[in-house]
């Protein structure tokens, strides 16, 4: 039996931890009337070193937890899970009897970057695992094979500033090193291909120059989700701000503390969810 | 003898304390090659309750400190000082033998807001003192007398989030109260008329809706300074990021600690400057 989602249902968002909260932040600002349910799979954080089959399994379980709570759309706010599972997950959702769209990172920001570039030179900054997966290269070249993409793996960029510590001169030198190949290539558009990078957005903008457009996962996802809701006639009829809440597979208190720095809006409630039975509770 | 400034000289920026660092932040991102010298008059903070003649005196002294160090342009990154002194200060600068432009807040963001509105309804959120001064109303109506301006005094908005504490539900209710008259008036453009408000920019955007354009002092000042440098042929010939440093009339260590939260970039050096003799050292 196919279950059609309700317009008043929340949008589900999942990530391996708190990083995806920068995407949720943009969604809360860009689609303020919608309700959201965020799942942080912090018990299995980080996803970076997991195999693709393992990540496909995690993504299915995360989706099941959200579907069991009646979400009307699923956002995969995680680069690793998107790279491994974005083709498999919609099939899994459909087979389990739900007509729910799945939107991941990578695709939306690649599309937006190609739409924005004027000189055809686009850069992407991401973790070494994301760059090695080739996901951005495939996505950008699928939209426009004539774009020249410069990919820079940034092993230490995600650590800067996310703990609330001031940015240091050493951080600036590190970021400068990552920006050097982009400056050399003359890119006019740069994808921030990791959910943690909005914390260093201003620093990167200063190093790259004001003529360069930065594209974050959050900005791109907001548009894509907005289109999807309009197309499916699933936008909420509410005119007041929506509610949002959190599930996490690990320590809920730690998630709330660290998460509030990433969300930059009140955290509301965080509930623990166990990974085995509760998915189908 | 008139002193013509050098292209390689820094741009001077002053405020009563750390608030203007959000303006400097935008200047560092938008004009990365320029050098900056920031003066925080923290010994006399806050400016909010001072009389206009007193503020004109303070602005002159601050300008003298910056001029003595050879700045090529002066930015008044402070609402109170701009309201009281923006007409007097250029005369003082000229009389003291300098051909240095003075750019304040209020004017640039009013101009940008009028340029951006499509329905002619503009809002401004600012401190009670700024709203009472009528400065935004005069500036907006001078650009376009047919714009309908809705002014909202926000006695407690500057306190939210600037100390690094997470935004609470009470903060949201407070911000919602300040946004209510703007929503009712149907504004499509809102001026954030206080240098502290960028900290609640995302919250305000969520409450006002994504179709509303927010205009901050920083964004507007960056353009105005860029134009001024181009017009006077004073843009730096440097192609690497500029340097920036800080003077403060109060406790330099406290300024550095609090300031780094406002600047969101490395603070560099902060030197104490005494208010009497050193102005002309």
DSSP A87: T
Whether the predicted pLDDT of B157 surpasses 50: yes
Q: Do B264 and A167 touch (CB under 8 A)?
A: yes
B173 to chain A, any CB pair closer than 8 A? The answer is: no
Angstrom distance (rounded) from CA A280 to CA A278:
5
Mean pLDDT for A90-115 is 96
Model pLDDT for residues A171-225, shown as the tens digit of each residue: 999 999 999 999 999 999 999 999 999 999 999 999 999 999 999 999 999 999 9
Contacts of B31 in chain A (CB under 8 A): 210
Which chain A residue has its CA at the smallest distance from B212's CA?
A: A30
Model pLDDT for residues A134-150, shown as the tens digit of each residue: 999 999 999 999 999 99
Model pLDDT for residues B82-91, shown as the tens digit of each residue: 989 999 999 9
Asked whether the beta carbons of A116 and A123 are under 8 A apart, the reply is no
Q: Is the peptide bond before B46 cis (omega within 30 degrees of 0)?
A: yes
Looking at this predicted complex, what is its ipTM? Answer: 0.91
Contacts of A267 in chain B (CB under 8 A): 166
B264 closest CB neighbour out of A168, A202, A207:
A202
Q: Do B31 and A207 touch (CB under 8 A)?
A: no
Q: What residues of chain A, 78 to 107, have a C-beta less than 8 Å from chain B? A: none
Asked whether the beta carbons of A57 and A85 are under 8 A apart, the reply is no
Backbone phi and psi for residue B226, each to the nearest 5 degrees, phi listed first: -60, -45
Mean pLDDT for B148-155 is 96
Angstrom distance (rounded) from CA B191 to CA B123:
6
Within 10 angstroms of residue B281's Cβ, the number of other Cβ atoms is: 9
Residue B275's pLDDT is 87
A210 closest CB neighbour out of B29, B206, B260:
B29
Angstrom distance (rounded) from CA A112 to CA B278:
53
A154 is catalytic: no
Angstrom distance (rounded) from CA B34 to CA B24:
11
Q: Do A164 and B166 touch (CB under 8 A)?
A: no
Residue A4's pLDDT is 81
User: Global pTM?
Assistant: 0.93
B248 is catalytic: no
Within 10 angstroms of residue B169's Cβ, the number of other Cβ atoms is: 11
B28 to chain A, any CB pair closer than 8 A? The answer is: yes
Residue A1's pLDDT is 60
Beta bridge pairs of residue B220: none
A260 to chain B, any CB pair closer than 8 A? The answer is: yes
User: What is the DSSP secondary-structure string of B35-90?
Assistant: -EEEEE-GGG---TTS-HHHHHHHHHHHHHHHHHTT-SEEEE--HHHHHHHTTHHH
Confidence bin at B281 (pLDDT 50/70/90):
very low
- What are the structural domains of chain B? 11-104+219-280 (3.40.50.1860), 107-217 (3.40.50.1860)
Q: Do A261 and B166 touch (CB under 8 A)?
A: yes
Instruction: Kindly provide the b/e burial profile for residues A25-61, where b requires at least 16 CB atoms within 10 angstroms of the residue's own CB.
Output: bbbbbbbbebbbbbbbbbebbebeebeeeebbebbbb
């Amino acid at each position: 039996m196919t279950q059609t989602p309700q317009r008043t249902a929340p949008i589900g968002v999942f990530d391996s931890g708190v990083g995806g909260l920068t995407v949720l932040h943009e969604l809360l600002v860009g689609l303020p009337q919608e309700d959201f349910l965020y799942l942080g799979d912090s018990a299995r954080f980080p996803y970076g070193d997991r195999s693709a089959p393992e990540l496909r399994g995690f993504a299915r379980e995360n989706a099941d937890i959200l579907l069991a709570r009646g979400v009307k759309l699923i956002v995969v706010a995680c680069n690793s899970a998107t790279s491994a599972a974005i083709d498999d997950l919609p099939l899994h959702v459909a087979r389990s009897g739900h007509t729910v769209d799945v939107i991941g990172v990578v695709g939306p920001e690649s599309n937006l970057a190609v739409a924005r570039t004027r000189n055809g030179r686009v850069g992407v900054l991401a973790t070494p695992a994301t760059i090695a997966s080739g996901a951005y290269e495939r996505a950008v070249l699928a939209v426009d094979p004539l774009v020249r993409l410069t990919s820079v793996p940034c092993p230490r960029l995600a650590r800067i500033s996310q703990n609330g510590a001031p940015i240091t001169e050493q951080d600036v030198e590190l970021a400068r090193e990552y920006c050097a190949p982009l400056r050399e290539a003359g890119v006019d558009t740069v994808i921030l291909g990791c959910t943690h990078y909005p914390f260093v957005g201003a620093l990167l903008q200063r190093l790259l120059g004001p003529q360069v457009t930065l594209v974050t996962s959050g900005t791109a996802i907001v548009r894509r989700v907005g289109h999807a809701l309009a197309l499916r006639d699933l936008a909420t009829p509410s005119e007041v701000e929506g509610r949002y809440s959190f599930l996490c597979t690990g320590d809920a208190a730690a998630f709330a503390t660290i998460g509030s720095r990433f969300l930059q809006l009140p955290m509301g409630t965080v509930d623990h969810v166990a990974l085995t039975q509760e998915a189908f509770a």
